[in-house]
Amino acid sequence: MRFSSTLLLALPAIAVAEEQIPLLDKVKGFFNKATAAVSSAIPAAPSNPINAATQKAAAKAAEAIQHPLTLENWREVLTVDPTASPPTTQDWLIHVTGGNSTCFGLCGNATKAWNASLPIMAAKANAPKFAYLDCEKENILCNSWSVGAPSIYWFSIPKPLADQSAPVPVVRYQPLNRTSTTAETYKKLIIDNEIANIAPYEGLFHPFNGELQKFGLAIPYAYATWGFSKMPSWLPMILVSFLSRSFMGKRLNPGAPAAAPAGAQPAR
């Protein structure tokens, strides 16, 4: 091959310049150029604003049509429309949720499905009224009802008659799976009315007619349960060990008989 005279004259200068650049710097420069080229060639992944906006709108709509329940207000909220003529019944659907300490942070999936389903359930003919109970904030109320999160509670509350007599409210309780609950779950339960197949709860923790409510023991029980949940796991073991040792000590050493009074003569 023949080279031009200009190129032949430039080769020595190029060789000298190349010798002055360390090998590591040349490698870094090559990779920097390659990285910049790849970054400019690949467009950034677009976000999904539609999905985010849909979830935000669903949560906002859910807030507008449901009532928060607290230990102080639940009896006033879960009532019948005062303008309705008896006999009539008001249905309430309550979504029970929680947080890190009451649901181990796993209620988010069920809550998203609830928010997405709520506008559809509200559009149903003869739709119930809606409320939610956050066991993270209202731990005492959840304990007094003995409910866990996530779950739903269905109340059918009759309006009292003119003599203030009324049948006991019918309640149905359904726990929800923390990972597999979807909008389809709520559709089957509420829209398809599968919740009517759940047997009404009539046990000790009935919010209106349970034995604990009748005798005013629901709230003390709830505080006692809450206190045990806050107790360190090692403390009950120590208490049980102490009590068992004390009990066994009394059984094995019943104690000496009482001493005779001073100056008393022994019996003959």
Residue 116: what pLDDT?
93
Closest by CA position to 66, among listed 146, 126, 134? 134
Count of beta carbons in the 10 Å neighbourhood of residue 97: 21
Residue 88: what pLDDT?
86
Q: Is the pLDDT of residue 9 over 50?
A: no
Q: Is the pLDDT of residue 241 over 60?
A: yes
Residue 26: what pLDDT?
47
| Residues 197-235 pLDDT 10s | 999 999 999 999 999 999 999 999 999 998 887 776 666
Residue 252: what pLDDT?
64
* Interatomic CA distance for residues 155 and 79, integer angstroms: 10
* Interatomic CA distance for residues 169 and 268, integer angstroms: 77
| Residues 131-171 pLDDT 10s | 999 999 999 999 999 999 999 999 999 987 777 677 889 99
Q: Is the pLDDT of residue 45 over 50?
A: no
Q: Which amino acid is at 201?
A: Y
Average pLDDT, the chain: 77
* Interatomic CA distance for residues 128 and 188, integer angstroms: 15
Give me the percent of the chain exceeding a pLDDT of 70: 64
Residue 227: what pLDDT?
86
Residue 74: what pLDDT?
96
Query: What is the band of 237 on the pLDDT scale with cuts at 50, 70, 90?
Result: confident
Residue 101: what pLDDT?
87
| Residues 75-88 pLDDT 10s | 999 998 877 777 78
Contact 118, 66 (CB under 8 A): yes
**Side-chain-facing half-sphere of 190: CA atoms under 13 Å:** 31
- The order of strands in the sheet holding 89-97 is 66-68, 129-134, 89-97, 151-158, 170-175
Q: Taking residues 31-48, report their average pLDDT.
A: 43
* Interatomic CA distance for residues 174 and 177, integer angstroms: 10
Residue 203's alpha-carbon distances to 170, 210, 217, in angstroms, are: 12, 6, 14
Residue 92: what pLDDT?
96
Segments making up each domain of the chain, as ranges: 50-228
Give me the percent of the chain exceeding a pLDDT of 90: 49
Residue 62: what pLDDT?
66
Residue 229: what pLDDT?
78
Query: What is the band of 61 on the pLDDT scale with cuts at 50, 70, 90?
Result: low
Query: What is the band of 36 on the pLDDT scale with cuts at 50, 70, 90?
Result: very low
Residue burial 190-205, b: 16+ Cβ < 10 Å; e: rest: beeeebeeeeebeeeb
Residue 65: what pLDDT?
85
* Interatomic CA distance for residues 195 and 207, integer angstroms: 18
Whose tokens are 């068992």? That residue is 244
Phi and psi (nearest 5°) for 109?
A: -65, -45
Cβ partners under 8 Å of residue 8, min gap 6: none
Contact 135, 96 (CB under 8 A): yes
Architecture of domain 50-228: 3-Layer(aba) Sandwich (3.40)
Q: Taking residues 95-122, report their average pLDDT.
A: 93
Residue 144's alpha-carbon distances to 27, 66, 79, 151, 267, in angstroms, are: 70, 22, 19, 15, 64
